[in-house]
């Protein structure tokens, strides 16, 4: 019963219109909420129970603290959530979700690591090997997803998440 309620709440969050007409600040609040909720809709490889979930940002941080505010104090499956910043792809370690912003999408190689969900926000960025890419349509944040790349990274994306995104 709890799982059904949790799923219904999450679907309601994802399904409602995510309007960004207030500008880039609201856009990144919506993207931060998506990143946090992706933790709940992906089947991850086993990890130590005391290790935190890590949402990483590679390169420049377009969230300007919004992502940290979104995950502060949050627990998912008994594990706390934290944000880490990485300057270079070689620095990325112990990361569950790695976000690469549009500023860095062309100069940063996308590191494919087992157990890591890569997320971007640049047109055509899925072709570089990332798993999920955000895009705006009519001032709403949407995402496209490549489940076969997720599978290659050892991840299984839930059917609920696949229904909400554009599968390519």
State the total domains in the chain: 1
CA distances from 27 to 32, 58, 147 (A): 9, 18, 24
Distance CA 48, CA 63 (A): 28
8 A C-beta contact, residue 150 and residue 131: yes
Residue 88 lies in domain: 2-167
Q: Can you give the pTM of this predicted structure?
A: 0.84
- Tokens 């992706």 — which residue? 38
- In tens, the pLDDT along 18-59 reads 444 445 679 999 999 999 999 999 999 887 667 999 999 998
Task: Assess whether pLDDT exceeds 70 at residue 8.
Answer: no
Which token pair is 40? 């709940």
Q: What is the DSSP string of 28-50?
A: HHHHHHHHHHHTTSEEPPP--TT
Task: Look up the CATH number of the domain holding residue 116.
Answer: 3.40.50
């Amino acid at each position: 019963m709890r799982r059904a309620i949790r799923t219904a709440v999450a679907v309601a969050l994802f399904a409602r219109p995510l309007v960004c007409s207030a500008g880039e600040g609201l856009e990144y609040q919506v993207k931060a909420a998506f990143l946090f909720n992706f933790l709940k809709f992906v089947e991850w490889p086993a990890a130590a129970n005391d290790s935190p979930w890590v949402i990483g940002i590679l390169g420049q941080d377009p969230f300007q603290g919004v992502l940290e505010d979104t995950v502060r104090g949050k627990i998912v499956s008994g594990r706390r959530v934290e944000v880490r910043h990485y300057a270079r792809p070689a620095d990325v370690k112990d990361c569950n979700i790695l976000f690469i912003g549009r500023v860095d999408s062309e100069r940063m190689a996308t590191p494919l690591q087992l157990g890591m969900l890569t997320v971007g926000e640049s047109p055509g960025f899925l072709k570089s090997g990332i798993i999920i890419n955000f895009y705006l349509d009519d001032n709403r944040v949407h995402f496209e997803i490549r489940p076969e790349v997720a599978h290659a990274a050892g991840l299984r994306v839930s059917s609920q998440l696949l229904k909400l995104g554009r599968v390519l």
